[in-house]
Chain A
Amino acid sequence: MSALVMNILLNGVFYASILFVMSAGLQIIFGVLGIVNFAHAASYMLGLYLTYGIMQALPVGYPQLLWIAPLLAAGLVGLFGLAFERGLLKPIYHRDHVFQILVTFGVVYMVDDAVRYVWGGYSIGVAPMVLSMLELGDVVYPVYNLVIMGVALGLAVFLWFLFNKTDIGRIIRATSHDEEITEALGVSVSRVKAGTFLFGSAIAGLAGGLMLPVSGGWPGVGMEYLILSFVVIALAGLGSVNGALVTSLLIGLVNSIGVQFFPKFELATVFILMAVILSVRPSGLFGTTR
């Protein structure tokens, strides 16, 4: 296969990987809480910056330790998400969903400035934990990127297993279908919501942490991925994790092709695709009206 095609494919899948990790969290949160969580951008950003901070704090000379950073950061971001959900979202669950979304937006602005305060307004960056490249046919590709793709794949498998084979997964699915019945069956819907938000935020944080060596960080870094994640979930149909897998790949590849052949249009190609698809299938490719 020609180097060009390989490049496009690899970049596309790589982009899709991050989009999927972000979108999966959004979909699960939407399924259970009914809101589109703008604060995901904050989770991504926090994950990235916390990873940076942790890496800075780790003792030098143990490169393997660096891998802990994104995981630890993800955990912290999950806790932050939990605090946010319990403290700010729970009191307003009865309100119109768009107001809840506005609150999640407020958090983005707050976290943005908080990050600016702690780490300054400049860009930050680190080297990837693995610097080696792999030869794939005519192309040389960073192993680190492949690791990220692996993580996304792992997440996809994990989620499939979770939702189809475990009790927790069944409970989550039941809650997203019908809160009242699930509550009547003895499940604490409140706890499910808290746990879901924790998990969703954590994986967004993980995405940020993993991307730190790839793209670096700057205040507002989460927004681009968030907006693209919106396109992913809108195309997939809100709530559909499987759909998000498909549309992440779609968007990733379209973007990759766009960057290669229509660099000026880049982002625009994605939005145009979204507009076209949504005009034909308003609830997304895999969506059902909620």
Chain B
Amino acid sequence: MQRMNRISLIAALCLLGVGPTFFPGFTMYLLTYALIMSIAALSVNLLLGYTGLMSFGHGMFIGAGAYTVALMTRYTGIHSFEVLIPMSIVTSAALAAFVGLFCTRQIDIYFAMLTLAFGELLYALFAKFYNLTGGTDGVRVEMPALFGYVLKAGVQYYYFVLGLFLVCAWAMWVICNSPFGKAIQAVRDNEIRAGYLGLVVMKYRLFAFVISGAFTGLAGVLLVSLTGHAVPELFQVITSIGIVFMVILGGHTSFLGPVIGAVVFVFLQSWLQPLFFWQFFLGAAIIILVMFLPGGVLGGIQLWARQALNRRSSSAAQIS
């Protein structure tokens, strides 16, 4: 089982590595988009799968990252990744710290609602203040430079994003398997016991929220550089739910599930969107997933693989 995992992983990485040689331009665009959303999905899962908190407002961090780029460029002229990326991470982390202070004090339902509310609040602000933020028109963004060199959209940008994705994935893997990672899982599994051990539960949730927000902000930078347009809709719940959906689709009980979910979602969306009633299928898919495939795609595959290899699976979901 472990070996199969490792082989699939290596195969996937190889595919990602040589993809541009074989895939047409639009597929590369989608793949880039998928990798960016994978970063966001992984960070949402840090919160959902590992800490047990479902955020309906993570779109606000994508928006924060996107608008950091847009507004920095507009007002200071700075337009290079080496500045914008750290800046966005800082902005998103600060936003997460602020919002988190309110949200992490709450129990799960309140948490979900509050994150949603804050996302909508930011949408309301950014949509109204036309002079400052471009209002509902948004702000056009051109590809930032990387150490003076402007990456060409397409293959070059793809490799850049791939590189950052790998870095982020590795970083999050370390975090999830660190003492902190174990601590947040403990908080998720048994908040009371964690308290009895001496852990201040809110502190861990807040910190997880900040880390999660920071990574999602990075995704926002990459996203806006790809699409070229920062819009207030990014702050809205539809963006946030989309990311949560990717996580659940891929499987929130494993580390890489969200990545698979992001890839499947992006390609599925591009395939279905022209079919007009995209939202209908999204809604139906969410319902079907929650009801019948709690482990998501990856969970389903693992289950099938285990059965195929004729082994009894344990009833507990394992965080790998």
Q: Can you list, as one digit per residue, whether each of A102-122 has a CB less than 8 Å from chain B (1) or not (0)?
A: 110111111111101100000
> Which B residues, 99 to 130, have Cβ-Cβ distances below 8 Å to chain A?
101-102, 105-110, 112-114, 116-118, 120-121, 124-125, 128-129
Q: Is B278 an interface residue (CB 8 A)?
A: yes
A113 with B287, Cβ < 8 A, contacts A97-B109, A234-B110, A268-B121 known: no
A265 with B283, Cβ < 8 A, contacts A234-B113, A271-B120 known: no
Q: Flag if A103 contacts B286 (CB, 8 Å).
A: yes
Residue of B whose beta carbon sits closest to that of A117: B277
Q: Flag if A265 contacts B287 (CB, 8 Å).
A: no
Q: Flag if B248 contacts A102 (CB, 8 Å).
A: yes
Q: Which residues of B contact A289 (CB under 8 A)?
A: 107
Q: Flag if B114 contacts A106 (CB, 8 Å).
A: no
Q: Which of A12-20, A70-78, A133-141, A272-280 lies at the interface with chain B?
A: A272-280
Q: Is A85 an interface residue (CB 8 A)?
A: no
A116 with B102, Cβ < 8 A, contacts A99-B290, A107-B283, A234-B110 known: no
Q: Which residues of B contact A266 (CB under 8 A)?
A: 124, 128
Q: Is A98 an interface residue (CB 8 A)?
A: yes
The one of B102, B248, B283 in contact with A275, judged by C-beta atoms closer than 8 angstroms, is B102
Chain B interface, number of residues (Cβ within 8 angstroms): 38
> Which B residues, 283 to 298, have Cβ-Cβ distances below 8 Å to chain A?
283-287, 290-291, 294
A113 with B280, Cβ < 8 A, contacts A106-B286, A264-B129 known: yes
Q: Is B241 an interface residue (CB 8 A)?
A: yes
Q: How far is the CA of A112 from the CA of B286 in the complex (A)?
A: 14
Interface SS of chain B: helix
The one of A223, A238, A265, A279 in contact with B128, judged by C-beta atoms closer than 8 angstroms, is A265
Q: Flag if A282 contacts B117 (CB, 8 Å).
A: no
Q: Is A95 an interface residue (CB 8 A)?
A: yes
Q: Flag if B113 contacts A36 (CB, 8 Å).
A: yes
Chain A interface, number of residues (Cβ within 8 angstroms): 46
> Which B residues, 170 to 204, have Cβ-Cβ distances below 8 Å to chain A?
none
Q: Is A61 an interface residue (CB 8 A)?
A: no
Q: Is B54 an interface residue (CB 8 A)?
A: yes
Q: Can you list, as one digit per residue, whether each of A249-290 has a CB less than 8 Å from chain B (1) or not (0)?
A: 000000000000000111110011011001100100000011
Q: Flag if B286 contacts A105 (CB, 8 Å).
A: yes
The one of B107, B113, B290 in contact with A102, judged by C-beta atoms closer than 8 angstroms, is B290
Q: How far is the CB of B28 from chain A (nearest CB, A)?
A: 29
Q: Flag if A106 contacts B124 (CB, 8 Å).
A: no
Report, nearest first, the 8 A-B pairs whose CB atoms are least far apart.
A109-B283, A106-B286, A110-B283, A113-B280, A271-B121, A106-B283, A267-B124, A106-B287
Instruction: Give 21 CB contacts A-B under 8 Å.
Output: A36-B109, A36-B113, A88-B291, A92-B291, A98-B108, A99-B290, A101-B109, A106-B286, A106-B287, A109-B286, A114-B280, A117-B280, A223-B237, A265-B128, A267-B120, A267-B124, A275-B102, A279-B102, A279-B105, A282-B106, A289-B107
